Structure 1
């Protein structure tokens, strides 16, 4: 199952705000947790017939044409100016106070954004994410005050230095981690993929310098980064969209040691569930992704590519043809001389 993650994916359950320190954000003195009620939009999308996939903890990227070539784009959400953000946070505080107090009679007046004046300028070549409303040529914000979008990678932009390690635009290829090409669902494979085969797909960038590296990939001496297509990592467990069943699965099952789940429905709708929606911690030990066998198929000669000696492609090609029982068995630190 797969899908293009262009915008924020909603929780499969209706959420509520409760008092207490957030397990997701240290500075946040409230929690957003799941109720027991499935969202109506999820039921309409036939969520029960969708198979959940593992939610990967990384940063989202997108393969899209740029200057006539398949190109890797980084997520860049346009955010409010400081002044507009300050006013919006004040509004959110008032709204949460009303929710926590159970007030319904004096509801907070809905917030109205000025998409033309309230947001920072877009970087050069920025495009709005698919599905973002555009009115009179101006991309409109979502309810959280973000305008989701993308910027094409520039090899000279240090902000995206780790993004650039997993791709070679000149040769049109990327380093991808996905289920084995031979159909073995219990085995992963790291391989070189043509960007053209990933056009209009979104993927998750993971590795040494992304989100504190919960999967233990690479090391400080030899940082390693990989791309995982969204929806690629399936789960063998039969899961129902039931609050109690999901909570038990996250708390007690080996395969439940994931950041969360994402359902890709047949109509294209996506829904997620995060451990934080149960108030459960992340990351945890012995992660599902890290326990699967990994095979390397990275012989650059198969693509007739000429990679730089220090590129990620060359570094990982030292493992070509090898199968490791699990992530921690890979000798990341050895590198290439």
Structure 2
């Protein structure tokens, strides 16, 4: 089985889906939404989803660690998307169900020279092929002090090759811990960046005055006693179970297949006022004796809380 947490492509829903022409619950201004039917996706059945490992789908932005400039680097998700003219043609194609041929050189918006396509993106004549949504998933390296990716920058220190990672404690899975992890230990992993300025901050991390961001390795937050892959039972679990106060579930199947469901697929609102993840206890283990905190505010702030245990993740506060 592949290492858990390698999210390079859009993960399909565990159920077959359909598009409804109504206001999206997930994206403002989107006049349609993708909803789950009651039928389990055949791909999930073939991958034996009932025996898969269920993990929490976190609400953040996807990142990737791989080599850049000869060292491990954090990369931000940047999907290459069509320009307005090509997008109009593509939408007409979607409604007419006629064949559609992309001209990648002319139809797509420019991306930085450092952009790379995600793993398993198909290529034709040397060019990446768009997926069924008309996007080309990819990554760009998070350069030091890049203002566009300032929150990504805050969780890495390239001088010593470390990242601030939040995840379950090795000895107590109920307890979360924040540690400074060598980027070399995260090579070829994907992670979720969560925090104050990401997706409305559903987990209540930090504040405008003291923003807090962390990386969470995909597949690291397991769900105990997950509900069966059944439409009604999942709906009930999300709405009634204390453990169901999550954005969604990602199932990691034994053959490496990933499938997911999030609340919007089932017509259940998100975020909750109190999330399961934000309510978990956390311990800070960022060594104050380390050398790499002089230039990185977030690292330095966490090092001052080294050894501190808090009853809830959202209770983390730094001294003025």
TM-score, structure 1 as length reference: 0.90
Answer yes or no: is the 8 Å Cα contact 2:145–2:153 preserved in 1.
no
Answer yes or no: is the 8 Å Cα contact 2:165–2:214 preserved in 1.
yes
After superposition, give the CA deviation of every residue in 1:274-320 in whole Å (9 maximum; x if it has no partner): 1001111111111010111101100143xx42322552110111211
Paired residue for 2:30? 28
Residues of 2 paired with 1:163 and 1:127: CA distance? 18
Paired residue for 1:137? 126
Answer yes or no: is the 8 Å Cα contact 2:74–2:156 preserved in 1.
yes
TM-score, structure 2 as length reference: 0.95
Paired residue for 1:158? 147
Paired residue for 2:284? 296
1:240: how far off? 1.2
Residues of 1 paired with 2:118 and 2:201: CA distance? 26
Residues of 1 paired with 2:66 and 2:245: CA distance? 32
Residues of 1 paired with 2:84 and 2:151: CA distance? 28
1:214: how far off? 0.9
Residues 1:109 and 2:109 are matched in the alignment: no
Question: What SS is found at the alignment partner of 2:278?
Answer: helix
Residues 1:283 and 2:285 are matched in the alignment: no
Larger radius of gyration between Structure 1 and Structure 2? 1
Residues 1:320 and 2:320 are matched in the alignment: no
Q: 5+ unaligned residues in a row in structure 1: which ranges?
A: 96-107
1:191: how far off? 0.5
Alignment of 1:161-180 (within 5 A): 161-180=150-169
1:119: how far off? 1.2
Residues of 2 paired with 1:328 and 1:125: CA distance? 36
Answer yes or no: is the 8 Å Cα contact 1:300–1:306 preserved in 2.
no
Residues of 2 paired with 1:274 and 1:209: CA distance? 21
After superposition, give the CA deviation of every residue in 1:123-145 in whole Å (9 maximum; x if it has no partner): 12111100101222211110111
Answer yes or no: is the 8 Å Cα contact 2:5–2:191 preserved in 1.
no
Change in CA separation of 1:84 and 1:51 when aligned onto 2, cut-off 3 Å: same
RMSD (CA atoms): 1.6
Residues 1:214 and 2:216 are matched in the alignment: no
Answer yes or no: is the 8 Å Cα contact 1:58–1:204 preserved in 2.
yes
Alignment of 1:93-104 (within 5 A): 94=95
Residues of 2 paired with 1:76 and 1:310: CA distance? 25
Change in CA separation of 1:246 and 1:116 when aligned onto 2, cut-off 3 Å: same
Paired residue for 2:58? 56
1:116: how far off? 3.0
Answer yes or no: is the 8 Å Cα contact 1:295–1:324 preserved in 2.
yes
Residues of 1 paired with 2:37 and 2:93: CA distance? 24
Residues of 1 paired with 2:29 and 2:74: CA distance? 33
Residues of 1 paired with 2:131 and 2:226: CA distance? 34
Residues 1:146 and 2:146 are matched in the alignment: no
Answer yes or no: is the 8 Å Cα contact 2:157–2:292 preserved in 1.
no
Aligned residues: 318
Paired residue for 2:108? 119
Paired residue for 1:253? 241
Q: 5+ unaligned residues in a row in structure 2: which ranges?
A: none
Question: What SS is found at the alignment partner of 1:91?
Answer: helix
